[in-house]
Structure 1
Amino acid sequence: MKVLTVENLVRKFALKVLAGENRLQQTITQPQSHRPGLEFVGHFDFFPTERVQILGRKEITYLHKLSREERQLRIGNIVKYHPPCFIVTAGQEGLTYLTQYCIEEGIPLLCTNEPQTTSEFITRLDAYMIKTLAPEIAIHGVCVNVYGIGILLRGKSGAGKSETAHTLIGRGHRLVADDLVVLKKLSPRTILGTHDGKTKEFLALRSVGLLNVVRLYGRKAFQDETRVALDIELTKWEKNSLNNELEQEPMFTEYMGVQIPHIEIQLQPGRDVAGLIEAAANNWLLKQQGYSAAEEFMRRLESDSNW
């Protein structure tokens, strides 16, 4: 299980620690933050106590308008649930009362330094926490980005996955991970492909050795992560096992409960595998836009038959 601490947030976003310096190892288990609203008026039925609590200009302005006694009551009602931490966005002043409560309850109180809106900070914070806490698995394969589309290349050892990736890099596409691909589930429909850090930028080619694609081909040859849209398996050529139907039945590979469209490409000397992968990527994109070449072809046939 991934572990995320308040200290990780302090370092990642260069946050100022106003209180709770000795509680920065407090763990965070929920990947989204929360801005208290209804809680300030005493409604706690759905208060997500395990989330990071964000206080922006709207919340702080409301608290400043309250009387001292009322403000203490509102803040006291929230801090007693002991959320992982409070983060106040930059530019907010007069937080003595909040600091004192956090000191007494042992809750880290942090403040942003960069001039940004609360919404902008929350977007960055949530994206970081979602990626960090996302369930993940590692699979054997290669991950590339072709025309902006993330593709997993799988197949038995020696099938030519890395060599195909090298050819794609030569055509202007990008390597994400070779040999070991880390898959992260960001949502019920989204799988992110990335590397494990150790193999970053490296591509292993049989008979050639280990290559650093960035050193060889420049920064454009590598991408740190990509949303996986296609799962392509490179398999041994089997005569008469493939057909030329207008539209193949859709197949899927499931990763952590997320179904990814699956395509099988059989290998044969002289076959332009990289070109087929490019075609598959472009065809997938057209389908997302609602276009089907097979459907258009059938409409043309029907149109001709009506004459």
Structure 2
Amino acid sequence: MKVVTVQTLMNQFKLELLAGEAGLARTVTRPRAHRPGLEFVGYFDYFPMNRVQVLGRKEITYLLKQDLDERELHIGNIVKYHPPCFIVTSGQQEIPYLKLFCEQEGIPLLRTEETTTEFISRLDGFLTKALAPEMSIHGVCVNVSGIGILLRGRSGIGKSETAHTLIRRGHRFVADDIVVLKKLGPATLLGTHNETTREFLALRSIGLINVVRQYGRRAFQDETRIVLDIELAPWQDQALNNQLEVVPQDTEYLGVRIPHIEVQLQPGRDVAGLIEAAANNWYLKQLGYSAAEDFMKRIEEGMGS
């Protein structure tokens, strides 16, 4: 199971440590932060104790309105479950009671100047990616006109060269050789690099090139949502016909199914152009448009006239 330490959160978001330094090695295993509410009145049946607990102005103001005994009871009831950490937002200062409890229990108490909404949005996004199930696959990842594509095929078939052509046409490069896939949701697959290969593209006969240095920052992006799986394959005579519409196929990664297309290679064939066409066609289908249906409709209308 993937985990993130509280120390990592502190460094990532530049949080101020107020108490509980001994607990910085504690781990977070769930992706979304929690704002205690019902827990302050003693209801703990569904308390997500393994999530980061965020205390905004609403929570702190409520606690400050309680008398000392009630405040200690409410905070003590939550602290005894030993959540990974508490994070106070908006730079709030009147929290000595929190410092005392967290120091005693070794639970990190951190503070940010960001508002609650802004901070939770960033924190949840970071944790979702950091804790997402992932796998590595041999291939190339590109973003074509805003559409994330995974290029696959045997070694030496031309995946990197095709990606290079797409980059020169204004599209964006994400990863070469090793593509890291992360499952962010039931139908959401993210493609990224493994940091070591970030920005590098390997071209046979040329060697490594740094895409950003050669083509500028706009030629690269760190990650993209994968919506098409395109496999480059050797040409097979009589294998392809001029079909009105190819029978849909898909591939599954980490339980997420995405459309699969096979593009056969032949000297002179504009593979990059075919990938652009596949990306644009996928986008039109999301809008409800089918070229095959449109074509058949025209034929039917012509026959009826």
* TM-score when normalising by structure 2: 0.98
**How many Å separate the matches in 2 of 1:144 and 1:298?**
33
RMSD: 1.0
Question: SS of the residue aligned with 2:54?
Answer: strand
Alignment of 1:99-178 (within 5 A): 99-113=99-113, 116-178=114-176
Consecutive unaligned residues of structure 1, counting only runs of 5 or more, are none
**How many Å separate the matches in 1 of 2:295 and 2:117?**
47
Per-residue CA deviation, residues 256-292 of structure 1 (Å, 9 max, x unaligned), is 1000110000000000000000000111111111111
Corresponding position of 1:42: 42
Deviation, 1:250, is 1.1
Corresponding position of 1:16: 16
Per-residue CA deviation, residues 132-181 of structure 1 (Å, 9 max, x unaligned), is 11111111000001001110000011110000001001100111001111
Corresponding position of 1:59: 59
**How many Å separate the matches in 2 of 1:73 and 1:3?**
30
Consecutive unaligned residues of structure 2, counting only runs of 5 or more, are none
Corresponding position of 1:90: 90
Aligned length: 305
Output the amino acid matched with 2:98. Answer: L
Corresponding position of 1:197: 195
**How many Å separate the matches in 1 of 2:45 and 2:304?**
65
Is 1:28 aligned with 2:28? yes
Alignment of 1:210-289 (within 5 A): 210-289=208-287
**How many Å separate the matches in 1 of 2:258 and 2:84?**
35
Output the amino acid matched with 2:76. Answer: G
Corresponding position of 1:3: 3
Is 1:81 aligned with 2:73? no
Deviation, 1:303, is 1.9
Output the amino acid matched with 1:7. Answer: Q
Deviation, 1:302, is 2.0
Output the amino acid matched with 1:40. Answer: F
**How many Å separate the matches in 2 of 1:121 and 1:204?**
38
Deviation, 1:125, is 0.3
**How many Å separate the matches in 2 of 1:226 and 1:136?**
14
Output the amino acid matched with 1:185. Answer: K
Moved more, 294-303 or 257-266: 294-303
Is 1:209 aligned with 2:203? no
Percent identity (aligned)? 69
**How many Å separate the matches in 2 of 1:63 and 1:303?**
71
Moved more, 207-216 or 5-14: 207-216
Does structure 1 retain, via aligned residues, the 8 Å contact 2:91–2:111?
A: no
Runs of at least 4 residues of structure 1 off by over 3 A? none
**How many Å separate the matches in 1 of 2:156 and 2:107?**
54
**How many Å separate the matches in 1 of 2:168 and 2:280?**
18
**How many Å separate the matches in 2 of 1:44 and 1:305?**
69
